[in-house]
DNA sequence: CTGGATTTGTACGTATGTATT
DNA sequence: CAATACATACGTACAAATCCA
């Protein structure tokens, strides 16, 4: 699983107008939509996502938090974050 | 408007611990439910909430972010945060 | 028109707590 | 007990939008 964010290393954030946390959301939801992530699947750890996307842990977390709040993901402390079984 | 961060009156005190960001959510939603905040009303600024609740800006922000994501609030950069007209 | 003040929006880094293996 | 991983919370900095003197 790749999770490349592109533009990694751009400190000045010369991004378009898509916030980084939105890119986290888009990436995960895209992988769910295409079937690369299926219900019950475990996501890469926050630290792995941080490394592969080049985004700080807090920003990774913000995207995941929103998807958990929306019911798309489920977080289990000590275990990991998983794709929700039902939408 | 009070927005005290005191422990009494919290809705979700079951299991002993309520996260601070949840207290922010509960306080705002409670004020909407009781009519103390009405659709179109402006909330106190993040900095005012920080002071009155004694909670860090990031945590205040997290609660507000979730309510914006749920459609309960609307944020307008440079203006303020308002109670959404539609529910 | 300009510039300051206010306020939200985004992003970073760090620390600590808690659950699971 | 140790390692792993999520959950919560803190503080800071700067960008962007709005308002007004």
Cα–Cα distance measured from residue B9 to residue A46, given in angstroms and rounded to the nearest whole number: 34
Q: Identify the pLDDT of residue A87.
A: 52
pLDDT digits (tens, 9 = 90+) for A46-62: 999 999 999 999 999 99
**Res. B11 pLDDT band, cuts 50 70 90:** very low
Kindly determine whether residue A70 and residue B69, on different chains, have CB atoms separated by under 8 Å.
yes
Tell me if A66 and B69 make a contact (CB, 8 A cut-off).
yes
Measured to protein CB atoms, the chain D nucleotides within 7 Å are: 3-13, 15-19
Tell me the torsion sign for CA atoms B52, B5, A64, A45.
Answer: positive
Task: Specify the pTM.
Answer: 0.84
Q: Is A81 within 7 A of strand D by CB distance?
A: yes
Residues of A in contact with B56 (CB under 8 A): none
* DSSP string covering A66-84: HHHHTTSEEEETTTEEEE-
The pLDDT assigned to B12 comes to 36
What are the residues facing A67 on neighbouring strands? none
pLDDT exceeds 80 at position B86: no
Q: Which is higher by pLDDT, A42 or B5?
A: A42
Between these two residues, A8 and A71, which has the higher pLDDT value? A71
Closest nucleotide relative to residue B60's CA, C1' based? D9
Q: Is the CB of A12 under 7 A from strand C?
A: no
Segment B59-84 shows an average pLDDT of 98
pLDDT on residue A9:
33
pLDDT above 70 covers a percentage of chain A that reads 80
């Amino acid at each position: 699983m790749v999770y490349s964010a592109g533009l990694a290393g751009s400190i000045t954030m010369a991004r378009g107008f898509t916030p980084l946390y939105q890119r986290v959301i888009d990436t995960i939801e895209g992988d769910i939509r295409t079937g690369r992530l299926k219900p019950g699947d475990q996501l890469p750890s926050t630290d792995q996502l941080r490394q592969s996307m080049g985004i700080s842990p807090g920003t990774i977390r913000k995207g995941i938090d929103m998807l958990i709040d929306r019911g798309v993901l489920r977080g289990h402390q000590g275990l990991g974050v998983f794709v929700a079984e039902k939408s």
